Amino acid sequence: MPYKILAINPGSTSTKIAVYTDEKPDFNHTIEHTPEELAGFDSVVDQYDWRKGLIENVLAEKGVDLHDLDIVIGRGGIVSPIESGVYEVNDDLQHDLLHARMQHASNLGGLIALDIANEIGVKAYIADPVVVDEMMPYARISGIPELPRESVFHALNQKAVARLFAKESNKRYEDLNLIVCHMGGGISVSAHRRGRVIDTTNALDGTGPFTPERSGTLPPGALVRMCYSGNYTQEEMLRKVLGGGGLVAHLGTTSVPEVLDRILNHDLHAMLIMRAMCYSICKEIGAMATALKGDVDAILITGGIAHSKRVTDFIADHVDYIAPIYVYPGENELRALAENALAVLRGERIPKIYESHVSEDPSQINDEGRPSKLRDWLLSAINPQAGNKPITAIRHYLRKWGPNKNRREQ
């Protein structure tokens, strides 16, 4: 018997929904939200009833009987860091979506899914939210203990594209080392090692490339001085980082096609800024190659900006020495959500239990009176495996880069 799936993906300026019958989409629909409409709400959570009503109106117009649905799945939000997977929307998850530590439209996905699911007596899920955290412990450490690096990236689309590439290559995602770069309003670059994202840039308000609307990595000293200059409020500075940084700060637009048109019309300033953004992406791809120790099977480029051959050619010219490059333009997060839901219904993927938790404080790692997964991980790494002794690595390094070697020939 075929399964009916409702997928819900709330974004900052739109709400996307789709109904699938097994793998086949019955329809996809995007509800656009104007700045004037959104300005009427004090917070994202306040948009809940409004967005849910819009979704129900579209479903009614399309003739969808909600009681025909077997499952409802929404995009995950800014909740506790969790590993990749499908999660049933339980009490803990509902609470953390309602009281998320950051405002983001994706927080509404699981909440609306739960409400609709409860009305018709089925279960609600989320899959691969933006806070998927599979990072190596030392990848989280920054130079200031109070400011750890966080895993916030386009997990849903990155994982879906990685699995699609694996399928097309007749390999398992869990057997591949990949660098995946999602380029949209936010940009994230991640190192996928054997099915886990061991390091990533923070695509929301952290480090990484600058984007059409986000600042990415900034000079820290200058940023602190700017914050305390007295010229800006906290809200104004946060806006410069998220929503008012990147291309829009330099060029007054978040539209990459518009910038590319300006370049074709000999706007050299637009060309300079566009190249700078692409260059910042290339540097992060190189960093993720280091996270994978140079063992990279492929570089996958996805997201809306990947439709531009001019952009992908520029990136390829800088990083194709690392690994072959494959381009998957656009994103289809609704399809990714539906595929995850279908895998649950067919018993191919076991839903995980969400538990709210506080991240472990690394400064307490030596306190053996406290349980610590981080301590266990580090202790297991103290003794190198046989054949991997440090002196062997050092001698290999000296042979490769010794004074009698011409580095250009390596």
Average pLDDT over residues 187-206: 95
φ, ψ for residue 238, nearest 5 deg: -65, -35
Looking at every residue in the chain, the average pLDDT score rounds to: 90
pLDDT: is 178 or 395 the higher one?
178
Over range 204-214, report the average pLDDT. Answer: 92
| Structural domain boundaries in the chain | 1-133+332-359, 155-330, 370-409
Residue 348 per-residue DSSP state: S
Rounded distance, CA 36 to CA 365, Å?
49
pLDDT: which is higher, 401 or 69 = 69
Residue-wise DSSP of 179-215: EEEEESSSEEEEEEETTEEEEE--TTTSSS---SSB-
> What pLDDT, on a 0 to 100 scale, did the predictor assign at position 405?
46
Pair 180, 153: CB distance under 8 Å: no
pLDDT at 379: 78
Whether the per-residue pLDDT at 373 is higher than 80: the answer is: no
Burial class (CB in 10 A: 0-12, 13-18, 19+), 269: exposed
H or E element, residue 359? none
| Mean pLDDT (whole number) for 135-160 | 93
- Report the pLDDT averaged over residues 263-286: 98
pLDDT of residue 393: 57
Report the distance separating Cα 100 and Cα 80, nearest Å. Answer: 9
Whole-number pLDDT of residue 400: 52
Quick: pLDDT tens for 348-364.
999 999 987 766 777 87
Question: Which strands sit side by side in the sheet containing 14-21, from one edge to the other?
Answer: 24-32, 14-21, 4-10, 71-75, 124-127, 86-88
What architecture (CATH level 2) is domain 155-330?
A: 2-Layer Sandwich (3.30)
CB atoms within 10 A of CB 222: 9
Show Cβ contacts of residue 389 under 8 Å, excluding neighbours closer than 6 positions: none
- Asked if 1-133+332-359 and 155-330 have one fold, the answer is yes
Among residues 51, 18, 6, the alpha carbon closest in space to that of 33 is found at 51
Fold of 1-133+332-359: Nucleotidyltransferase; domain 5 (3.30.420)
pLDDT of residue 396: 55
Alpha-carbon span 181 to 209, nearest angstrom: 11
Average of pLDDT values for 215-243? 96
